[in-house]
Chains A and B, each alone.
Chain A
């Protein structure tokens, strides 16, 4: 299964990356090579094997439901590139 340029265009939107035509070509080639390498996993018999999502499994980490100190509004906003006194500012979402 190879990756087409159309796949890469679609994935670049899903990944919220803007790529130039040249980058799309390069990415198509490189991802194709990497995915080609990864496809060797297909030869491993995995019937009945449970997927392992994490190194520590089946353990819930509970915490007491107690309010604790958290960041102030100002601290939460201080690294935002564009903000008002009370929130993050983004380009107009509606009406464009």
Chain B
């Protein structure tokens, strides 16, 4: 068996005993990427040379008996949305195609401090907006289980590279399901931490009250290891929580006693694929078989979560993305062409005697902004900026944005009540398995509705995990979502590990690549 088919936890053990070296492991992954990524398209860039150098340096330190970090020598892929000093960080956008941040994200610094080997940057929907990675300005990513299908998104590259054994671990981000949904589509584990658990410093902002960074892994145990490294208070992020980080990787194997598992009957209503339903119900049965109490609960406002999210997230995005103005960093339109265009418009209007329209023409600066943003952003990003600007504009603010903030509180209150009765909530991650590439590109609203099961956790700020719980008859992975109260990642991981240990889904390999 190839090294790439071991879990990160197993690789870590072999590295620590000296049975394998980090260089050997890194080379094995680089080979694997060279062989398979042409078809999968998970990576935007590979850092082969710096990864080799770093692996050698860590191997040397280990051989010399010096202390090494918790991730020492393990290759890790990072979604192209976290700033790393001197390394291009594109967010899947033309706007940031050449952007080299002058500083590093806290998550990157933490990975490096624990001696991870950063192997490459993964593809994503532009500015993390989307659920299929088709909104990347640079390339399409294919689901390793069926190359005609989407890996999900927006962290599609991060999920696909782990599914295809091109990295043992990766980092994703989740604003409305962008870690959990691709994890489900690709048959891997993905965890969105409690809001504030992981620093957002150096994470390129999409919707600041919802964004979280989290791990993607082959197993729950591996996810625990990676979360333990990236979590923790950061004074550079004012929304970071000053809470101690439990040793998740030490406790993950300990089953929860007297587990009360909540199930929401509405989650199994019309619209749910029958094979997805069967797999999720089977996972719930597995818990029952282990002695858990299964309890029906209600989340009465959950049906409004998508509508609430698609007011709040675009509103925050429209404000956050105002910074891309062609002035401070990123793309700028061709200035002489812009001025010539403006001049021609002015002449044309004057010739037609439309003096009022001449007065209303953009100034050169405003036209520079508008052309820059028109050329630098793709259609989905524009749509969300427009939607958010509309929702925040005079006359509509109360009806949309303020209303959504109130419903957001009701959604959180539902969870607060539910967690008085249960320890974890189990549900599907998505209503259906991975869809075909191109299937939804012309129907933005249908695309948004895919987020039905995932957005509530972001709105409420609670942690959630997606883990494999079955396959369709066509061989596509199916995910189980578990949700826990804020800061209960330890409970979430231990609960997830229980069903993982009782089943074999996490050991399934992508048949089309091996």
Contact = CB atoms under 8 A, between A and B. Distances in A.
Interface stretch (B36-44, B113-121, B382-390): B382-390
Judged by DSSP, the binding face of A is loop
Nearest to A1: B399
A50 B329 contact: no
Nearest to B308: A41
A81 B330 contact: yes
A51 B370 CA distance: 33
B419 interface: no
B168 to A, nearest CB: 30
A55 interface: yes
B244 interface: no
Nearest to A10: B393
A75 interface: yes
Interface in B343-381: 362-371, 373-374, 377
Nearest to B383: A30
Contacts of A50: 406, 409
A90 B99 CA distance: 19
B318 interface: yes
Judged by DSSP, the binding face of B is helix
A16 B393 contact: no
B138 interface: no
Contacts of B386: 8, 11-12, 15, 17, 27, 31
Contacts of A1: 399
Given A18-B371, A40-B307, A50-B406, A11 B383 contact: no
Contact of B100 (A13, A37, A71, A79): A79
Contact of A18 (B304, B318, B374, B389): B374
A52 interface: yes
Nearest to B343: A96
Given A17-B382, A46-B403, A50-B406, A41 B461 contact: no
Given A30-B444, A33-B445, A17 B374 contact: yes
Contacts, number: 174
Interface in B64-103: 98-103
Contacts of A91: 335, 338-339, 364-365, 368
Contacts of A17: 370, 373-374, 377, 382, 385-386
A15 B385 contact: yes
Interface in B468-514: 486
A30 B412 CA distance: 29
Given A37-B307, A80-B327, A42 B367 contact: no
A14 B195 contact: no
B301 interface: yes
A33 to B, nearest CB: 5
Contacts of B31: none
Contacts of B377: 17
Interface stretch (B150-158, B223-231, B234-242, B277-285): B234-242
A81 B371 CA distance: 14
Interface of A: 1, 3, 7-8, 10-19, 23, 27, 30-31, 33-35, 37-38, 40-42, 44, 46, 49-56, 61, 63, 71, 75-76, 78-82, 88, 90-93, 96
Given A18-B373, A90-B327, 9 more contacts: A1-B399, A15-B386, A17-B385, A38-B404, A42-B399, A44-B406, A56-B196, A88-B327, A96-B364
